[in-house]
Chains A and B, each alone.
Chain A
Amino acid sequence: MFSRNAVRKSCASLRFYHSNPIEHVNPLHIKPLAYGKQSPQYKVLSLALQEYVPKHGFTERSIVESLNKLGYPSSMISSIGASNSPSFVHSSTAVMELMKFQLVDKRYRLTEGINPDVTPHYKLPSLEHLLLKRLEMDKPVGEQLTDLMSQLAIPSGFLFETAIPELHRLSDDMIYFSNEKDHHDSAWYAKRLAVSSTYIGSQLFMAQDRSHDFQETFAFAKDKLHRVMRLGEYYNNTEEFAWYTLMSTVNLVKSQLARG
């Protein structure tokens, strides 16, 4: 299950260089999905996600109902999950595809129409705005979140090839498309981990949240984001002070040496 293959695949699915979208044609596929917006798979899965998942959850039944509604034979369900390898711990490959679709499609829709290459920095949305917007997108499936999260967290190839990479792609997107400052060193990783943990924490909270319109979730998410950012500041201030101390020590030693 935790074979080298899975590790290699999850490494290969890390995000690569992004060429600018202005000079290049729009990609045919919504990576890492193997199909684009015009394909039948996309239509079936997005209808299932909108209409049937809130009722039946992330199950084969949602996909079958969506297939029936669109006039496809229900046997097509086997081709929907064709890109996933079957796993003992998951019920069916089609459900895995539906969960993957929920993660990937919502991530793309979150940042649709934002292009930091042309938009001035101050006009970009804030990180908090994007985080709340992403949580907002999960409101309709709020009842099913417990099920979704537990299925995503099952230790299996799916966790390492899809669930975790998608989580980090989401936080990478949220930082890139927002006006949040980005970094050249370890802070690049730390900030992404902080955003990922905020998001996953808020999702877990949302799965249990029974307040009206998930108000408590949004308050929780705001607070959590604020707190991880403050933690980063604490660290940065400590480092700044250590650096200052080091520099003044060096200068002190230098001046003493110069005096002879």
Chain B
Amino acid sequence: MLSRVSVFRPASRSFSVLSSLMITEPTSTKLAEKSEHAPKSENLSDAQAAFLDRVIRVDQAGELGADYIYAGQYFVLAHKFPHLKPVLKHMWDQEVHHHNTFNNLQLKRRVRPSLLTPFWKVGAFAMGAGTALISPEAAMACTEAVETVIGGHYNGQLRNLANQFDLERTDGTKGPSEEVRSLTSTIQQFRDDELEHLDTAIKHNSYMAIPYTVITKGIKTICRVAIWSAERI
């Protein structure tokens, strides 16, 4: 919780996407290093808490979507176009890592997940697989569109986090709490990763997709609608 940026570990995927209802292995908990006497921040206002609530829910849903989009693309393209396999694998692994990070945050900070989660899963997989079925370039155009919207969305969140979280501390200083700073740096890192994916997509000829405008505009609109609803529902 208080660690800055979560460390990237190569993802391991088990056979089943389902999780059991019981805990199977003891999870390690990081002990907080903060002492009792360190200056404390004031509590978040309702508006601030509501904003963070939305941030975590929408980012979790978004990373889940990204994870499943790459799963769909990988499912279709990995065997037909072996030269794309490592590229897709790398991006997918990063998305799995992002997804896990926000899953942990969702549980720790007690935010409810989006009610539409099953729909996001199906929709994202279908979008990834569907564009990949058109052509590898169309899949890259899909990636380009998604990552453009996500990058802009993350930037909006970062602006808000930088402006609105000047909490007063008991020793008279002001500034965001460690928790908010950690969230900020996580989002910064993820935004950079997403923009790197955008570059990768363009390098792999996303603009050669036919019909390029329809795919990118359509997917951008879908992403905006999805973001709007994942924040709320």
Chain A interface residues toward B at CB < 8 A: 14-20, 22-25, 27, 116-122, 172, 176, 179-189, 191, 229, 232-233, 236, 239-240, 243-244, 247
Check if B7 is an interface residue, CB within 8 A of chain A: no
Q: A18-B109, A120-B29, A184-B64 are in contact. List 11 more A-B contacts (CB 8 A).
A: A20-B2, A20-B179, A24-B41, A24-B44, A117-B1, A120-B26, A121-B26, A176-B110, A181-B20, A183-B19, A243-B17
Check if B32 is an interface residue, CB within 8 A of chain A: yes
The residue in A180, A181, A185, A232 that gathers the most chain B C-beta atoms within 10 A of its C-beta is: A185
Is A23 within 8 A of B43, CB to CB? no
Is A229 within 8 A of B21, CB to CB? yes
Partner among A25, A122, A183 whose Cβ is within 8 Å of the Cβ of B42: A25
The residue in B18, B46, B60, B109 that gathers the most chain A C-beta atoms within 10 A of its C-beta is: B18
**Interface residues as binary, B88-120 with A (CB distance below 8 Å gives 1, 0 otherwise):** 000000000000000100111111110101100
Check if B170 is an interface residue, CB within 8 A of chain A: yes
How many CB-defined contacts (below 8 Å) exist between A and B? 118
- List 20 contacting pairs A-B, 8 Å CB cutoff, sorted by A: A16-B49, A18-B49, A18-B110, A19-B43, A19-B44, A19-B49, A19-B109, A20-B2, A20-B32, A120-B26, A121-B29, A181-B21, A181-B23, A183-B113, A186-B115, A186-B118, A187-B19, A232-B21, A240-B16, A243-B16
Chain B interface, >50% SS class: loop
Collect the chain A residues with CB atoms within 8 Å of residue B18's CB.
Answer: 236, 239-240, 243
Q: Which residue of A lies closest to B178 (CB)?
A: A23
Report how far A191 CA is from B22 CA in the complex, Å. 12
Check if B52 is an interface residue, CB within 8 A of chain A: yes
Collect the chain B residues with CB atoms within 8 Å of residue A186's CB.
Answer: 115, 117-118
Please count how many residues in chain B sit with their CB below 8 Å of the partner chain's CB atoms.
47
Q: Known contacts A24-B41, A185-B117: does B20 contact A16 (CB below 8 Å)?
A: no
Is A25 within 8 A of B41, CB to CB? yes
Is A121 within 8 A of B110, CB to CB? no
Report how far A21 CA is from B34 CA in the complex, Å. 11
Is B112 within 8 A of A121, CB to CB? no
Q: Closest CB of chain B to A135's CB: distance in Å?
A: 23
Report how far A19 CA is from B44 CA in the complex, Å. 8
The residue in A19, A116, A181 that gathers the most chain B C-beta atoms within 10 A of its C-beta is: A19
Collect the chain A residues with CB atoms within 8 Å of residue B106's CB.
Answer: 184
Is B49 within 8 A of A17, CB to CB? yes
Q: Closest CB of chain B to A203's CB: distance in Å?
A: 24
